[in-house]
């Protein structure tokens, strides 16, 4: 609280206010100076990785932001999760802006069938390649691609070769834990989601609206 700050610093409220205004003025000047150097505009390759929550959720957040800006979005799900009801229902509100393909076949520990997983991954990558290379979609989400790369169902070199050919303004978002080093190296923006605290540990189950 304001009162507490005043008590702690020994300054009056008016002195705190003046000091604050001065500090913020300097902060704004510094920010503006940095922003002025940021002039390049290009499509980004974005990777969300790490063991924490929010990798796919943040990617879906980017999808909705893009939709709100009138952009066209392609989504390929490399692992067909059961927990996608919410996003799917919302995406159906924007049929003219979204191309959605769930070509994966369930988690690897659900199928327990390596050849089926490999075939599904290859089919999904074929669809992804078309979305990455076309001139129609502005943003492409490759959800859980990192998982199939980790199992070597696809070769990361093949993925990077296609990303190199993408139209300059296209954004590509790739999610999944254990992102390959080559992909991190190639990407423009990489965020690692780290779990500091997880309710699963204390016996809380996955819940509609939060987990799926």
- Closer residue to a copy of itself in complex, CB, 94/130: 94
Of positions 95, 96, 165, 205, contacts a copy of itself by CB under 8 A: 205
Max intra-chain CA distance, the chain: 72
**Which position has the token pair 């999944």?**
176
Which residues are paired to 75 by β-bridges?
100, 141
Q: Which of residues 27-56 bind a copy of itself (CB under 8 A)?
A: 27-28, 31, 35, 37-42, 44, 46, 48, 50, 52-54, 56
Distance from the Cα of residue 33 to its chain's centroid: 28
- Please give the residues from 86 up to 105 whose contact with a copy of itself meets the rule CB under 8 A: 86-90, 93
Site string for a copy of itself, 156-185 (x = CB under 8 A): ---------------x------------x-
Q: How far, in Å, CA of 212 to CA of 210, rounded?
A: 6
Q: Which residue has the tokens 């859980």?
A: 144
Window of 126-134, 140-148, 150-158, 159-167 that interacts with a copy of itself by CB under 8 A: 150-158
The C-alpha atoms of residue 44 and residue 47 are separated, in whole angstroms, by 10
Q: Binder to a copy of itself among 100, 102, 160, 193 (CB under 8 A)?
A: 193
d(CA 83, CA 86) in angstroms, rounded, equals 8
- Min dist CB 5 to a copy of itself, Å, is 5
């Amino acid at each position: 609280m304001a009162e507490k700050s005043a008590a702690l610093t020994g300054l009056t409220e008016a002195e705190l206010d003046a000091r604050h205004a001065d500090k913020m003025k300097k902060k704004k000047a510094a920010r503006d100076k940095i922003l002025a150097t940021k002039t390049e505009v290009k499509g980004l390759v974005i990777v969300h990785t790490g063991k924490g929550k929010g990798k796919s959720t943040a990617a879906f957040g980017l999808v909705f932001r893009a939709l709100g800006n009138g952009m066209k979005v392609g989504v390929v799900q490399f692992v067909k999760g059961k927990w996608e009801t919410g996003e799917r229902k919302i995406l159906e509100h924007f049929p003219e802006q979204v191309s959605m393909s769930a070509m994966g076949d369930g988690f690897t520990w659900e199928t327990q069938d390596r050849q089926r997983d490999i075939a599904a991954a290859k089919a999904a990558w074929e669809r992804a390649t078309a979305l990455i290379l076309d001139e129609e979609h502005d943003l492409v989400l490759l959800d859980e691609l990192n998982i199939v790369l980790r199992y070597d169902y696809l070769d990361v070199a093949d993925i990077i070769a296609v990303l190199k050919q993408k139209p300059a303004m296209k954004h590509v978002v790739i999610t999944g834990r254990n992102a390959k080093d080559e992909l991190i190296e190639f990407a423009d923006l990489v965020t690692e989601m780290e779990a500091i605290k997880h309710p699963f540990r204390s016996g809380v189950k996955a819940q509609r609206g939060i987990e799926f």
